[in-house]
A and B are shown apart, each in its own frame.
Chain A
Amino acid sequence: MVSGAPPVSPGGRLAAGPARALRTAGDRVFSGVTRVFAALVLVAVFGMLAALLDGAWPALRAFGLKFLARKDWNPVTGEFGALAPLYGTVVTSAIALLLGVPVSFGIALVITELAPRWLKRPIGVAIELLAAIPSIIYGMWGLFVFAPFFAAHVQPALTARLGAIPGLGGLFQGPPMGIGMLTAGLILSIMIIPFMAAVMRDVFETVPAALRESAYALGATTWEVVWRVVLPYTRVGVMGGVMLGLGRALGETMAVTFVIGNAHDVNLSLFMPGNTISSTLANEFTEAVSPLYTSSLLALALVLFVLTLFVLVAARLMLLKLGAREGVRT
């Protein structure tokens, strides 16, 4: 880690005359310009919040806080509520985490503990490439390849095995159409795995070697070292990585739009088509004709932004906490 303040106009005191004036003027301009652009980042984020709030205002005034709890979405009668897309967003993200977290943990474990040295990098790069593939490609693959496969082979089996269980079974009933909330959640999980796995790998590597090796020396198995030493040590960072993945899943648009089926509905069954906030925006934003319709969509965007803002702030705070401890450990 580098430390200490950067050198500030060194030697300036000795110089005199025009050379000195040039020097301080140059530094003043340099410092001013870089500061302005740094502030631009703040302006962008707060500007986003302000613009969304401004655009969403008519809808929020018309529907109040009930906007969040209303199910109707009817452009003809001008009745709008966020419940269906909000429900879809939460359900698909939950599915994505349910599958994505254990898989990411396994990948991070393999990269940090199991893989031979020459294999670590190739595996890491392959998983990172998964993150580089554009969302729209996942969407096409999901719609044309994964959904038909899922409908033909997986959904009937799920209904047969789990559909009869009281309570839980309701999640897996319905026509095996391939598209729907479960498919969207599964594809989301593949999309967020690289982000979570990368964070987990990085935080696992912050564990001091002495700690890990002491556990091995006491006779712990690899699994015990990871489960009882590495994971407790990095808990906060792992949670941060999971929240980062959640932030991605909540806002992911194109892949979901392809496979979720776009129905403004709240269904218990995960096989049924639904909607997320982002897919509603992608589908309807350019078609919205009445001002209230547009404003309602902007209100949806505001809800999504605030939701991800909370999640991402939590994620960053957790990662910062781990980083702070890292500085002390040596």
Chain B
Amino acid sequence: MTLYARRKAVNAIGLALSVLATAFGLFALAWLLFTLLENGLRWIHPRIFTESTPPPGANGGLANALVGSAILTAAGVAFGAPAGLLAGTYLAELGRTSRLGAVVRFVNDILLSAPSIIIGVFIYALVVLRAGHFSGWAGAVALALIVLPVVVRTTENMMRLVPDGLREAVAALGAPTWKITVAVVYRSALPGILTGVLLAMARIAGETAPLLFTALNNQFWSTDMSRPYPNLPAVIFQFAMSPYEDWQHLAWAGALLITVAILVINVVVRVLLARKLVR
């Protein structure tokens, strides 16, 4: 084989394997979604949204878990997003070149990829152990710790996209720094910051591990955040691992609902971002 032919052959094999790898990734996504639709769609009916989780063998739905998850997610975002916004503001505006800024930026990236179960264990030791019982609040704090680094990161990135000329123009009019940030930088970075919050929401909506030792779960309808709190991921975990078929069916229905919600948020965010970039 000539050198030329060999180079061509290596190229062809390498590229073919790469295309195969991409096909593998896309196939995995398709297989997962197909599984969810095949197993989940059958068990979606109005009762899912109106009745609470049943004991084995009885009819029921996922209403308490759906509402509980929505409230827990909202609480996690409500705690985590403002803190993340302010920390991100520091990184983008005041601490851009400071040492504290550099350290926080680095540690934030670590927190971003820290195992979520460790966050659950941490909140268990911090909140649950002290309070003496599992609670919705503990779950919300654990989720907020996952939201925090995501919002810090996107807020900083989005605020940095605002041109410095704009800041200087406002400064030339005599505005103080806080006013430049609030009235001008926030306003022009708002869509980007909001997409960051949405992505964080999508991330915690399906998180299970940090809730296992914090919010635990609740078989019944409950809106008392100081008690164990019903949530969809924990219900899916419990029901899917159970030997009861009707529980497994509910788990599939819940899995489909949660995944569709998360994928819709992700696609919407990407469409919004793409449109913004084009404009």
Q: List residues of chain A with CB under 8 Å of any chain B CB.
A: 2, 4-12, 14-15, 23-24, 26-27, 29-31, 33-42, 44-45, 47-48, 51-52, 54-55, 102-107, 109-111, 114, 121, 123, 125-130, 132-141, 143-145, 190, 193-194, 197, 221-224, 226-227, 244, 247-248, 250-254, 258, 278, 281-282, 285-286, 297-298, 301, 304-305, 308-309, 312-313, 315-316, 320
Contacts and interface: CB of A to CB of B under 8 A. Distances in A.
B10 interface: yes
Interface in B78-108: 83-84, 86-87, 89-91, 93-97, 100-101, 103-104, 106-108
Interface stretch (B19-27, B44-52, B56-64): B19-27
A53 to B, nearest CB: 10
Nearest to B205: A134
B19 A136 contact: no
A140 B176 contact: no
A7 B178 CA distance: 11
A133 B7 contact: no
B15 A114 contact: yes
B255 A136 contact: yes
A272 B216 CA distance: 30
B21 A33 contact: no
18 contacts: A26-B176, A31-B177, A33-B86, A39-B100, A41-B148, A44-B111, A102-B17, A109-B15, A127-B29, A129-B266, A132-B203, A134-B262, A140-B255, A221-B7, A254-B237, A281-B117, A285-B212, A308-B114
Leading 3 A-B pairs by shortest Cβ distance: A251-B115, A134-B206, A106-B21
A224 B118 contact: no
A6 B212 contact: no
Contact of B115 (A5, A197, A308): A308
Nearest to A102: B21
B167 A106 contact: no
Interface in B164-180: 164, 167-168, 171-172, 174-180
Given A44-B148, A45-B110, A140-B251, A128 B172 contact: no
Contacts of B8: 221
Contact of A42 (B7, B20, B107): B107
B233 interface: yes
A11 B170 CA distance: 11
B124 A285 contact: yes
B194 interface: no
Interface string B175-219: 111111100000000000000000000110111110011001000
Contacts of A309: 110
**Looking at chain B's contact residues, is the secondary structure mostly helix, strand, loop, or mixed?**
helix
Q: Which of B106, B110, B262 has the most CB of A within 10 A?
A: B110
Contact of A301 (B25, B118, B175, B274): B118
A39 B104 contact: yes
A304 B121 CA distance: 12
B160 interface: yes
B236 A110 contact: no
Nearest to B265: A132
A301 B103 contact: no
Contact of B18 (A41, A107, A145, A278): A107
A111 B18 CA distance: 10
A187 to B, nearest CB: 10
Interface in B236-279: 236-237, 240-241, 251-252, 255, 258-259, 262-263, 266-267, 270, 274
Residue among A26, A47, A133, A312 with max Cβ neighbours from chain B (10 Å):
A133
A324 to B, nearest CB: 12
B11 interface: yes
Contacts of B114: 45, 48, 251, 305, 308, 312
A30 B22 contact: no
Given A29-B178, A39-B104, A221-B7, A4 B164 contact: yes
B138 interface: no
A41 B87 contact: yes
Nearest to B93: A6
